[in-house]
């Protein structure tokens, strides 16, 4: 099983989707990571504020932080290989990294609050 590991910068909670002003990028990432999980990928997410030990225990992430500091976060690893540093990917990138067909990413992202389907029961806000 493919494993996607996310090392997030310090945030108020595990997803960053909390507090009075939620960053829309973090809301979208949370939905995209949930979608990736539903495709059969193991997703592990660490927050520097809540799980600092995970950042020290991972030699790759520790090295990145020593060289670049917290500006390198978030760091995304797929099966231990660095895929991205310093920014949050979109669903297309996540799909490509973990080997999910792009058509699935496009189809799934078309509905819900960010898409065109606003019918009752569609999941749209």
SS3 117: coil
pLDDT digits (tens, 9 = 90+) for 14-40: 555 555 666 788 889 999 999 999 999
Q: Which residue has the tokens 């290989």?
A: 81
- pLDDT score for 104: 60
Fold of the 3-112 domain: Glutaredoxin (3.40.30)
With a pLDDT cut of 70, the percent of the chain lying above it is 72
- pLDDT score for 17: 54
pLDDT digits (tens, 9 = 90+) for 39-57: 999 999 999 999 999 999 9
Quote the tokens at residue 21.
Answer: 């002003």
Burial 15-31 (b: 16+ CB within 10 A, else e): bbbeeeeeeeebebbbb
Q: What is the mean pLDDT of the chain?
A: 83
């Amino acid at each position: 099983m493919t494993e996607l590991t996310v090392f997030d910068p310090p945030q108020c909670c595990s997803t960053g989707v909390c507090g009075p002003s939620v960053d829309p990028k973090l809301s979208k990432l949370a939905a995209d990571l949930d979608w990736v999980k539903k495709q059969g990928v193991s997703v592990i997410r660490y927050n520097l504020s809540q799980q600092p030990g995970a950042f020290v225990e991972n030699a790759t992430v520790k090295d990145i932080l020593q060289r670049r500091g917290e500006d390198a976060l978030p760091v995304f690893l797929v099966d231990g290989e660095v895929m991205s540093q310093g920014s949050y990917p979109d669903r297309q990138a996540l799909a490509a990294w973990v080997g999910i067909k792009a058509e699935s990413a496009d189809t799934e992202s078309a509905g819900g609050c960010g898409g065109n389907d606003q019918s009752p029961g569609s999941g749209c806000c």
